[in-house]
Structure 1
């Protein structure tokens, strides 16, 4: 039975931070003001811009505390165990896994654990070849590009599909060897649906022990998806009428109720926002109305859903 440090569980490090990212009242002694936590401050600034994801945000702060104390123990010449920083991200598409992977790369660069901190995104097609020998070569080349940074493989469980004769297993075996050959030179993050990732870990006996950190990414709530939508719209210098917000809110809450497996959370919202903007542009050209207020405003009639189930709203608002 493997023991992984699953960050969704509370740990003693939690007392360092409360919801305001300040020393908790439960902390027996505060962090000295003279200590510089610049990497944490940069990280928090970016985390604060993310909607929801409270548990994940706290996990990343715990990771910072762990890295910081690890370094302090090294400086004090205290005994430290060599740590593996490879991670497993479990959750549905569009729940922020890639965004957090990028932030972790930046944090590791700030903490001087990784020399570059860049993110290389990959999927099955980037690792698995079509003939014998090609898969190992493609996988090694991908790891080489990732040295000094983070290699993020989404839908990693797809490597385990296809049976014994499939080249996906060769990619897994090559990754395990590369993790050993390039210790401390890159961080591997495997991501995918929760249940599929559990099955994936059984593909190679060396996999479970190499991923001591497991992050779980829950789906966004309907309210969080609406907040993400409004944030995206605001960043693009648009705003929605009250009726448009109601129409969008009803639709997003219905999506959550339906809980479709293929529903991609934040990714779906981003695509929906981009479509709203295109629909608004078509309407404005048709109307010949280009005043500032019109250019800023998204109306209910600009919100068009491709889904079979659509939530009606007033067209004029």
Structure 2
């Protein structure tokens, strides 16, 4: 990396970058998350902008105070919460937040059931999130224009005030399906203007889901039999076409069910002497017993 200088002040980019240790976070993203190349690229871009902003402040250059509030859009199970945790780490290491924790909430944590209930709930959540990142999942449920007695609008107004007036104390990430999130922002221009970083999470391909499945198995000290990975790939392609598909979450559920079937299969073998291989191997039949394969069309 280059050296930035102005007048008699020098700043070595590489030294400053190494000090923050944000490369560790980026490496963790690469290691822990399969695919998601556009997401990883966007996170690197945000990190680079924040690092340069920090260097400009050190050299007393005019800084545009980059907006930190974000929007993560995509289907369930695409890694939004995981990336939010990594983003909190990056913001903390770059000194943009003081604590670096992530607080995940939904509408029920913010909106009350009666008059006078919403403000205290929302303010308590904000108090817990201060110094870190507030991750609001399925944020569009905060706004229900068809219900005049709904108190979600009150929670949004309180959020807006804090997002504007306490930007140095809290970063907010709104998350949910892209189409619903777009309508959510259209409904409140004030909210849209405060969210400057938009990250879209693509669905995984069947091949990526197979890689994710193998990682999950490895973490639990299991493995696929030689032909089982092909069966899991077929399962992923079928599951992607079914309702309520949740990407990596659906694959995790499939792996959990396959482990249960493996356990039942082994238990049914009676007094057979078991090897380590028997205990750690998921056979194709453990996946083929899924209702996606056994149902009749």
Conserved 8 A contact 1:247-1:311: no
Q: Aligned with 1:42: secondary structure?
A: helix
Out of 265, 278, 281, the position equivalent to 2:247 is 265
Q: Deviations over 1:44-96 (max 9, x none)?
A: 22112110001111111111111110011001111012232000111111111
CA distance in 2: counterparts of 1:144 and 1:83, whole angstroms: 23
In the alignment, structure 1 residue 80 sits paired with structure 2 residue 63 = yes
Tell me the residue number matched to 1:93: 76
In the alignment, structure 1 residue 223 sits paired with structure 2 residue 218 = no
Matches within 5 A, 1:87-236: 87-161=70-144, 162-236=146-220
After TM superposition, give the deviation of residue 100 of structure 1 in Å.
0.4
After TM superposition, give the deviation of residue 163 of structure 1 in Å.
2.6
Tell me the residue number matched to 1:69: 52
After TM superposition, give the deviation of residue 244 of structure 1 in Å.
1.5
Q: Aligned with 2:48: secondary structure?
A: helix
Q: Deviations over 1:213-248 (max 9, x none)?
A: 100011000100111001110111110012211111
Tell me the residue number matched to 1:253: 237
After TM superposition, give the deviation of residue 306 of structure 1 in Å.
5.6
Cα distance change of structure 1 residues 34 and 165 upon mapping to structure 2, 3 Å threshold: closer
- Whose helix proportion is higher, 1 or 2? 2
CA distance in 2: counterparts of 1:305 and 1:104, whole angstroms: 39
Cα distance change of structure 1 residues 33 and 129 upon mapping to structure 2, 3 Å threshold: closer
In the alignment, structure 1 residue 293 sits paired with structure 2 residue 242 = no
CA distance in 2: counterparts of 1:86 and 1:135, whole angstroms: 22
Cα distance change of structure 1 residues 231 and 189 upon mapping to structure 2, 3 Å threshold: same
Q: Aligned with 1:201: secondary structure?
A: helix
CA distance in 2: counterparts of 1:231 and 1:219, whole angstroms: 18
Matches within 5 A, 1:40-79: 40-49=22-31, 50-79=33-62
Moved more, 271-280 or 219-228: 271-280
Conserved 8 A contact 1:172-1:204: no
Conserved 8 A contact 2:25-2:86: yes
After TM superposition, give the deviation of residue 169 of structure 1 in Å.
1.5
Moved more, 60-69 or 157-166: 157-166
Conserved 8 A contact 2:231-2:288: no
Q: Aligned with 1:137: secondary structure?
A: helix
TM-score, length of structure 1 as denominator length: 0.83
- Structure 2 unaligned segments of length 5 or more: list them: 2-11
Q: Deviations over 1:105-132 (max 9, x none)?
A: 0111111111111111111111111101
Moved more, 247-256 or 90-99: 247-256
CA distance in 2: counterparts of 1:81 and 1:243, whole angstroms: 56
